[in-house]
């Protein structure tokens, strides 16, 4: 009976564990909050087509707000700026949240737009900063801000810095900025804030607003195709990261998967952002500034041809620590991986330099890794040296190559009366002077040879 209870408990635990392991950890909130940061500065009184710019902007925005009343997963808010005080007062805090977020507040926004009249200046940075307070804290919502303006910052603020800071704090996603009949030279002023559109006329303004809504509210999916050098989708089982290309913060991470038919899985991603897609091969491959088309499936092709490296050595137990291999690209000096000996590791196709941390270390350059192949390297097994000291002193160990040239490899640890360590086969010599010796002329020098699997006992007097 006792065993039945244990087995049942194990089965329950296994089921619970399996369910948890299948849980979707990363998902996009179903609901969205959209804040309209609306320019009502004095310049909006300029003519735009056959009407005033402010009238055209309010009319188009009113139609958009009205169309969204049928979507119960979207909440709206309105924050104008430049509408409270005359321009001559240069009020750089001229902004107010006129209509806060709430369900079904479309009519309130439409009614409030009717009474907004352009008066003041253009404090975009301050208005953006204040908008951080407009979004209630709720992880079940995505926060989007749409900035509608006909002018650049006029209060010496830095809208780009404010936008970046608030995005890093996860207050809102990358803003959409719509310029109303702006000159092209001002594009740089807004592109650093978010995604910028210049609506040259009223019909373009309508199209941009509708496009932003499609991009923001439509379900968007993506799959990453990891290609070999021939462009065939065969690579898999690699961690893929979607990094916000604006903030540098990771937005999505997943382990690449292919089904039994070789098709990659589909993941849902937020189309409001642009991404640097990092495939964490060794070394990683980065595809920068990937923009996704909202409301559709996006395929992201990235070449990641890989092969394997396997460095083998027998009798590694002779070393008192695990032997590691430092891997560098042949064209660079940066260490890209630390691989344990007697292990397989995938690398991108290319040439690599190896530094095997045996004693002495072994350097191998221009090791070629080819797609779909395993590069096997066998290095000689080590031997072992047991050194016994009759007195304490100062000493060093040197290797001697086939040309008779020596290279220092180790300071001898003479704190005790003996030392033991693994060492590669080869020719060596030690140089030693006892603490009791009365001059350097009493330095001892002795050459010896170590073979693989051999234990060599050396006495130093």
The architecture CATH gives domain 306-378: Sandwich (2.60)
Strand partners, 457: 386
Quote the pLDDT of residue 23. Answer: 55
* Measured distance CA(247)–CA(416) in Å, rounded: 56
Quote the pLDDT of residue 416. Answer: 66
pLDDT tens-digit map of 270-312: 999 999 999 999 999 999 999 999 999 999 999 999 999 999 9
Quote the pLDDT of residue 64. Answer: 97
Phi, psi for 126 (deg, rounded to 5): -65, -40
The answer to whether the 31-217 and 306-378 domains have the same CATH topology is no
Fold category of 219-303 in CATH: Immunoglobulin-like (2.60.40)
pLDDT tens-digit map of 120-175: 999 999 999 999 999 999 999 999 999 999 999 999 899 999 999 999 999 999 99
Quote the pLDDT of residue 138. Answer: 93
pLDDT tens-digit map of 410-422: 998 766 678 899 9
Domain ranges, ordered by start, for the chain: 31-217, 219-303, 306-378, 383-460
CB 371 within 8 A of CB 349: yes
- Which listed CATH number (3.40.50.410, 3.30.1600.10, 2.60.120.10, 1.10.150.120) goes with 31-217? 3.40.50.410
Ranges in the chain, pLDDT < 70: 1-25, 414-416
Quote the pLDDT of residue 12. Answer: 42
Quote the pLDDT of residue 412. Answer: 86
CB 95 within 8 A of CB 127: yes
The CATH class, in words, for 383-460 is mainly beta
């Amino acid at each position: 009976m006792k065993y039945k209870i244990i087995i049942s408990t194990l089965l329950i635990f296994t089921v619970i564990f399996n369910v948890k392991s299948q849980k979707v950890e990363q998902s996009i909130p179903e609901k969205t909050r959209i804040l309209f940061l609306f320019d009502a500065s004095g310049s909006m009184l300029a003519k735009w087509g056959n009407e005033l710019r402010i009238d055209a902007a309010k009319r188009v925005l009113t139609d958009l707000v009205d169309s969204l009343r049928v979507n119960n997963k979207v909440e709206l808010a309105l924050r104008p700026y430049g509408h409270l005080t005359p321009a001559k007062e240069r009020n750089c805090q001229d902004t107010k949240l006129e209509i806060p977020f709430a369900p079904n507040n479309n009519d309130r926004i439409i009614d409030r737009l009717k009474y907004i009249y352009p008066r003041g200046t253009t404090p975009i940075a301050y208005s953006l900063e204040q908008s951080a307070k407009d979004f209630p804290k709720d992880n079940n919502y995505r926060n989007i801000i749409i900035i509608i303006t006909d002018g650049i910052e006029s209060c010496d603020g830095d809208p780009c810095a404010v936008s970046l800071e608030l995005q890093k704090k996860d207050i809102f996603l990358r803003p959409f900025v719509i310029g109303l009949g702006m000159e092209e030279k001002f594009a740089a002023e807004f592109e650093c804030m978010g995604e910028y559109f210049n609506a040259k006329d009223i019909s373009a303004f309508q199209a941009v607003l509708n496009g932003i809504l499609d991009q923001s509210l439509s379900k968007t999916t993506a799959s990453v195709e990891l290609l070999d050098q021939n462009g065939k989708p065969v690579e898999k089982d690699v961690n893929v990261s979607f990094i916000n290309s604006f903030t540098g913060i990771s937005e999505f991470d997943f382990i690449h998967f292919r089904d039994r038919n070789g098709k990659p899985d589909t993941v849902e991603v937020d189309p409001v952002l642009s991404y640097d897609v990092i495939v964490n091969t060794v070394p990683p491959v980065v595809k920068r500034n990937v923009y996704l088309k909202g409301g559709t499936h996006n395929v992201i092709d990235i070449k990641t041809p890989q092969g394997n490296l396997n460095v083998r050595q027998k009798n590694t137990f002779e070393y008192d620590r695990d032997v590691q291999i430092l891997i560098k690209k042949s064209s660079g000096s940066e260490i890209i991986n630390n691989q344990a000996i007697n292990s397989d590791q995938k690398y991108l196709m290319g040439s690599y330099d190896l530094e095997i941390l045996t004693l002495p270390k072994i350097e191998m350059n221009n090791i070629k890794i080819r797609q779909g192949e395993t590069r096997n390297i066998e290095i000689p097994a080590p031997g072992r040296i047991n050194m016994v000291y009759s007195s304490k002193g100062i000493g060093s160990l040197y290797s001697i190559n086939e040309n008779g040239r020596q290279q220092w490899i180790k300071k001898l640890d003479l704190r005790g009366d003996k030392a033991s360590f693994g060492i590669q086969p080869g020719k060596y010599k030690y140089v030693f002077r006892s603490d009791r010796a009365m001059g350097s002329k009493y330095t001892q020098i002795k050459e010896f040879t170590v073979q693989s699997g051999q234990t060599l006992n050396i006495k130093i007097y």
